[in-house]
Structure 1
Amino acid sequence: MLFEELVISIMKAVNLERTVSSPFHLIKGKKSGQTIQDIGYYRLHPYFAVMPKLDKNAYDEVIQSLFARNLLRPNEQVIDLSEAALGMKIPPSKLNGWKYRGNEILFLNRLSLIVQTLSHTSQSVYSFDPVHNAVDLQAWVKEYLVRIDFRDPGIAGRFKKELHDSLGAANVAEENKMMLMQRLTGLRLSGLTWEQIAAGKGLHTLDVQLEVIETLHAWLEVLESGDFPLFSPLLNGVVQRSSLTESAERTDKLFKQGLSLDEIAAVRQLKTSTIEDHFVELAMNDPAFDYTVFIPQDLFRSITKISAQRNTKRLRDIKEMLPQASYFQIRLALAVKEDIS
């Protein structure tokens, strides 16, 4: 997936409902109530936090290009895609941002340092400048290398075979796999920069970065099978085991202990609005969430009916029709996983 395709995919989902900056916050993985809420409302889980270090100026350049090519129409309030943009065919993607949330880079950094080390030590070269200087990363890799007995003459070959077999099984283009491999450094072979790879492929740097992220997600999916024992430890701390953010998990535990919304806010010393965000997140992710604690059944059905009839999730539009409903109640109702008959 190219970066422009990513932006348009998100915009298609929120067209006429959100501002042009909303895809930026989603791609970076902003943990605001609005962004987390939109992930659930519009099923945008694959794209969350796929590029945590995305530069706003680079994003804005892409937006200006969409305007210049009449794919975006001028609208100061919301995203307004042209018919040409809405009709664009975008290929399926292996991105799984909600599952990895930017931690695929931790996997890649571990891999890079391990590959560099094994390529040198397997040739009896024990002095080199590490590609990563972070103390915690180096400590993790040193411990890992000791655990796998990196001085064993055959370990480098076994590691290489697992790398080849597992990456080969990843369901992405071979060209994308090659771009990922070009980032790795070995004995007498320096990894390429994003800019160097992009220049060689005739692509924008953002495209190369995104396609490598997509390759990592597809590769991690293969590695999660557990069939590659040398690679399994590299997944520690990379895969998100909970569908909730850490803060929402803490709120959920207190709620299950019987504390009210206000009591949880007091205990956690957080704003009530922040705890409300957590409940919206819970409603999105827990089919058994009991929304009736916060919304009467008839009001819940009125909210969801208006949303369906008007084909909108804009809170203001629904609020105008149901002034008796609070914004929190509207957000919660839209987030609940329930079939409405």
Structure 2
Amino acid sequence: MLFEELVITIMKAINLERTISSPFHLIKGKKSGQTIQDVGYYRLHPYFAVMPNLEKRLYDEVIRNLFARQLLRDNDQVIDLADKALAHAMPASPLNGWKYRGNEAVFLNRLSLVVQTLSYTSQQTNRFDPVHNAEDLQSWVKHYLKKINFRDPASVARFKAEMLESLEAADAEERSKMVLMQRLTGLGWSGMTWEQIALAHDLHILDVQLAAVEALHAWLDVLERNGFPMLSPLLDHVIQRSVLTESTQRTEKLFEKGLSLSEIAAIRQLKTSTIEDHFVELAMNDPFFNFAPFMPPAMYEQIVTVSKKRNTKRLRDIKEELPHATYFQIRLALALREDQP
């Protein structure tokens, strides 16, 4: 998947519902109530936080290109895709952003330093400039290397064999895997910059960065499912075990103790709107979430009915017909809808 295809895929889900900047915030993994809410409303989990370091100027460049090619129509309010963009079939992708939330970079940094170390020390070269200087990363890698007895040639051979076998099994394009390998450094070769890789593949820099993430997600899936003993430890704290953000988990614990929304906001010293965001996130992820403390069943049914009738999840549009409902109640009801796409 090219970066432009990623953007269009997201836009298809939120066409005429959200602004041009919405995909940018989603791809970066912004933890705002709106972005988290959209992940659940529109089933955009695969694309959340896949490129946390995405630069706005590069994103805007892609948007301008979509307008220039008439794939986007000018609409000051919302995304308005042209018919040819809506009809374009998007390629399948192994992206699983909600599961990793940018932590695939932790795995890659560990792998890069381990590969570099094994490459040098296996050739009796103990002095080199590490590719990563972060103390916590170096400390983790040193501990790992001791555990695998990294000076034993047999350990190095097993590590290499696991790398080749697991990466080959990853369900990603060969080009994506190549991009990933071109980032690694060892004795006699230096990892390429994103600019160099983009030039080598005749692609935009965002395309090769996305390709690396796709390869990583597919690779991590193989490692998690098949348990490669040499590589699996590199997954430590990489996979997001809870579907909830950390802040929402803390709110959930207080809610389970019987505290109200306002009480939780006071205890956590957060805005009421932030706590409302957490309840919307809880509602999206808990099929047994009890909305009774926040609205009567009749109001829930009204909100869902209006949303279906107008074929929209835009809060303002629903509020126009149901002025007695609060925006929080509307958001909560939409999060609970059973027929979300």
TM beyond 0.5: yes
SS of the aligned residue for 1:219 comes to: helix
Counterpart for residue 307 of structure 2: 307
**1:97 is aligned with what amino acid?**
G
* Aligned 1:144-183 pairs, distance under 5 A: 144-183=144-183
Contact 1:110 1:141 in 2 (8 A): yes
Counterpart for residue 137 of structure 2: 137
**2:120 is aligned with what amino acid?**
H
CA distance in 2, matches of 1:153, 1:178: 26
Counterpart for residue 298 of structure 1: 298
Counterpart for residue 275 of structure 1: 275
* Aligned 1:1-341 pairs, distance under 5 A: 1-338=1-338
CA distance in 1, matches of 2:187, 2:256: 54
CA distance in 2, matches of 1:275, 1:54: 28
For residues 85-134 of structure 1, the C-alpha deviation after alignment (integer angstroms, 9 at most, x for no partner) is: 11111111110000000000110000000000001111111000000111
For residues 183-242 of structure 1, the C-alpha deviation after alignment (integer angstroms, 9 at most, x for no partner) is: 100111111111111101110000000011011000000000242011111001110000
| CA positional deviation for 1:339 | 5.8
TM-score (norm 2): 0.98
**1:290 is aligned with what amino acid?**
N
**1:326 is aligned with what amino acid?**
T
CA RMSD of superposed structures (Å): 1.0
Runs of 4+ deviating beyond 2 Å: 337-340
SS of the aligned residue for 1:291 comes to: coil
CA distance in 2, matches of 1:29, 1:137: 23
CA distance in 1, matches of 2:312, 2:75: 18
TM-score (norm 1): 0.98
For residues 30-89 of structure 1, the C-alpha deviation after alignment (integer angstroms, 9 at most, x for no partner) is: 000000000000000000000000000000000000001110001111001000111111
**2:332 is aligned with what amino acid?**
L
CA distance in 1, matches of 2:337, 2:267: 28
| CA positional deviation for 1:338 | 3.5
Contact 2:304 2:337 in 1 (8 A): no
Contact 2:14 2:79 in 1 (8 A): yes
| CA positional deviation for 1:176 | 1.3
**2:297 is aligned with what amino acid?**
Q
| CA positional deviation for 1:156 | 0.9
Percentage of pairs with the same residue: 70
**1:107 is aligned with what amino acid?**
F
Structure 2 residue runs of 5 or longer lacking an equivalent are none
**2:285 is aligned with what amino acid?**
N
CA distance in 1, matches of 2:32, 2:42: 16
CA distance in 1, matches of 2:166, 2:268: 43
> How many matched pairs?
340
Contact 1:27 1:52 in 2 (8 A): yes
Contact 2:303 2:330 in 1 (8 A): yes
SS of the aligned residue for 2:334 comes to: helix
Structure 1 residue runs of 5 or longer lacking an equivalent are none
**1:189 is aligned with what amino acid?**
W
CA distance in 1, matches of 2:174, 2:85: 28
Contact 2:50 2:213 in 1 (8 A): yes
CA distance in 1, matches of 2:156, 2:57: 42
CA distance in 2, matches of 1:127, 1:234: 23
Contact 1:286 1:337 in 2 (8 A): no
